Structure 1
Amino acid sequence: MLKKISYICIAFYVFIVLGLYFFQEKIIFRPKKLAKNFSFTFATKFEEVHLKTNDNSLINALHFKVNGPKGVLLYFHGNKGNLERWGKIVAPYTSYGYDVFVIDYRGYGKNTDARTESKMYQDAQLAYDYVKQFFKEENISIYGRSLGCTFAAKVAKENKPKQLILEAPFYSLIDLAQHKLPFLPHRWLLKFKFETNNFIGKINCPIAIFHGDSDKMIPIESSQKLVETAGEKNIDFIILKNGTHHNISSFKIYKDTMSELLN
């Protein structure tokens, strides 16, 4: 009887492992597709842009514009939706007197090509190179939210922006998966590592991190570990009391800090 139970447990474990391996992209990435001829509509002035990659893919992006911008906010969004959703979220940042530039990831919105971690990092750098055509690096602020934090951190590491702003970052995808399902061998299972921890200590610009202490999606310990990993780096760590994964931008301290950062 015990032997039979053991076999059942092993079979169940293998089933979970295989399921995670083969369906991990559907778990990590939650895109919403858009037709190629979809027309964006926003209250803020914007331009739709298509960035051509080295492998001849096209990355859909939105460039929100203001008159006489103080700089540009390069925004990397979270894992759900597409530019139709995120455009509405990022457009209000123009109220700080900044242009805002945001891309969709591969497989999101109008983008169709298959994604890999390395290609996604290359796409993020492509976005930085685009805004660098119009702004000096000292006027480029990089912003990452959730999944987007790893792209933001990578780009900040490879370049010389004014600053890096992270909202609810994870330490690494492996670390986050280990927190959610500690009994699985994530290091060997996950094709996407997204090791923000490997970038944070090599960034030379000022860093601001916002994280809610009631975040159930990405625990605040993730940000705390990033701060510890960064060591003596210039980091402003803002903890939002009762902040969740989705309400950080509603806090007064967030708005006040963003006003200071984008002054």
Structure 2
Amino acid sequence: MNKLLKTLTWLAGIAAALYIAVCCYFYFEQDSLIFHEAKLSHNHKFSFAYPFKEYSIKSGNDTLSGVLFKADSAKGLIFFLHGNAGNADDWGDITPEHTAMGYDMFVLDYPGFGKSTGHISSEADLLQAVQTAYDTLKNAYQGRRIIIMGFSIGTGPAAWLAANNKPDKLVLLAPYYSFIDLAKNLYPFLPSFISKYQLNTYSYIEKVKAPIVIFHGDADGRIYYQSSLKLKQHFKPGDRLIILKGQRHNGIDKNEEYIKRLPATLN
């Protein structure tokens, strides 16, 4: 009996040590696990089949890179925050459907992405970069409509930005309720206190005065679409949630229902 107890105690100790090791790994590596930096060389030449303008924006010690895709006689700006992978060279593919609606579309690369220098090491870093880029772009669109749009990991910062500024509309594609809620869904064995990122989308949207439109696919395997159902509970009158039947996480911009609803969404 004593031998069995010692064996069980030893096994419990090993399991506890392994669990602590896993938690430590996730804590110290979470920046790289969350943000999959896709760098481009500083002399990379963007090439697109439609008009664009490259931006370099100073943000503290870093330089942010972004690309503005131009519409004919633009009536406003879509300020777009992309997901946790890729860069403006990749994300330029989503812009034609939006510029066709008469809006310029700016795609920002976060620190460490594309030609942007630096790295994201905290929530404050991310939000400061987003605000700095927004301040630069909005000055060129005074008197015209500005729409903040975010996809996936970019939805939290997009909602924060809309809560702390005065855009004409906020559009979220596949948003999360909060980053901790998302982490609990993906990694239920991890304690929430190890996350450096809160990104409480639900709290931000309560402070957004502009109309909000959310699109989410009910076949999303990365950010569970019930996140948007929970966000709906924090809507003000007039905000809308549109569930896209059979839509997975990626490819919302090519979804027929999304494209059909895009004119009304942007105007």
Decide: shared fold, TM above 0.5. yes
8 Å contact kept, 2:178–2:198: yes
The alignment status of 1:110 with 2:115, answered yes or no, reads yes
Residue matched to 1:160: 166
Displacement of 1:248 in angstroms is 2.1
Residue matched to 1:215: 220
8 Å contact kept, 1:205–1:234: no
TM-score by length of 2: 0.93
Further displaced range: 109-118 or 71-80: 109-118
In structure 1, list runs of 5 or more residues that go unmatched.
none
The whole-number CA distance in structure 1 between the counterparts of 2:258 and 2:166 is 24
| Structure 1 residues 89 and 162, CA gap change in structure 2 (3 angstroms) | same
The alignment status of 1:242 with 2:246, answered yes or no, reads yes
The alignment status of 1:251 with 2:255, answered yes or no, reads yes
The alignment status of 1:83 with 2:67, answered yes or no, reads no
In structure 2, list runs of 5 or more residues that go unmatched.
1-6
Larger Rg: 2
Q: Structure 1 vs Structure 2: percent identity of aligned residues?
A: 39
Aligned partner of residue 31 in structure 1, secondary structure: coil
Instruction: Determine which of 183, 194, 204 is the counterpart of 2:189.
Output: 183
Displacement of 1:166 in angstroms is 0.3
Residue identity matched to 1:95:
A
The whole-number CA distance in structure 2 between the counterparts of 1:262 and 1:178 is 33
Aligned partner of residue 38 in structure 1, secondary structure: coil
Aligned partner of residue 95 in structure 2, secondary structure: helix
| Structure 1 residues 92 and 159, CA gap change in structure 2 (3 angstroms) | same
The whole-number CA distance in structure 2 between the counterparts of 1:199 and 1:127 is 19
The whole-number CA distance in structure 2 between the counterparts of 1:63 and 1:73 is 9
CA offsets 1:130-177 (integer angstroms, 9 cap, x no match): 222221365001110001111111111111111000000011111111
8 Å contact kept, 2:81–2:158: yes
The whole-number CA distance in structure 1 between the counterparts of 2:140 and 2:109 is 20
Residue matched to 1:38: 44
CA offsets 1:80-135 (integer angstroms, 9 cap, x no match): 01111112222442111111111100111112213221121122122222222221
Further displaced range: 208-217 or 89-98: 89-98
Displacement of 1:67 in angstroms is 2.7
Residue identity matched to 1:11:
A
Q: CA RMSD in A?
A: 1.5
8 Å contact kept, 2:75–2:144: no
Residue matched to 1:142: 148
The whole-number CA distance in structure 2 between the counterparts of 1:137 and 1:3 is 69
| Count of aligned pairs between the two proteins | 260
The whole-number CA distance in structure 2 between the counterparts of 1:200 and 1:252 is 26
Residue matched to 1:97: 102
The whole-number CA distance in structure 2 between the counterparts of 1:208 and 1:48 is 28
The whole-number CA distance in structure 2 between the counterparts of 1:135 and 1:112 is 26
Further displaced range: 108-117 or 169-178: 108-117
TM-score by length of 1: 0.94
